[in-house]
Amino acid sequence: MSVTFQPKGLLKSFCREYLNGEEIIELNNKEGQTIEAVCLEIGLPLNMISLFVVNEKPKPKDYLLKNGDRVKCVAIIGGG
């Protein structure tokens, strides 16, 4: 049973050791954990994430993961 995380943009630099060739992180046994907990476990800084998209729908960081979930983590865009 697994879930996948896909960090976007500069977020990839925080978790390179987990990324596969398709720049996706495949994780087993994370069902029932929050997006927030898993992000912290793999080194993604929550303060740099503006949006979590699970199975193409926006979700809060306290969403409980289910088997087969596909999570995209979108970085905050800065400018000036």
55: CATH: 3.10.20.30
Domain that holds residue 65: 2-75
Q: What pLDDT, on a 0 to 100 scale, did the predictor assign at position 78?
A: 56
Q: What pLDDT, on a 0 to 100 scale, did the predictor assign at position 54?
A: 98
In this structure, the strands spanning 70-75 and 57-59 are: unpaired
pLDDT digits (tens, 9 = 90+) for 34-76: 999 999 999 999 999 999 999 999 999 999 999 999 999 999 8
pTM reported for the whole predicted model: 0.90
> What is the SS3 assignment for 39?
helix
> What is the SS3 assignment for 80?
coil
In this structure, the strands spanning 2-7 and 57-59 are: unpaired
In this structure, is the dihedral angle defined by the CA atoms of residues 15, 62, 48 and 22, taken in order, positive or negative?
positive
The structural domain count of the chain equals 1
- The reply to whether 30 falls in a domain is yes
- The reply to whether 80 falls in a domain is no
- The reply to whether 19 falls in a domain is yes
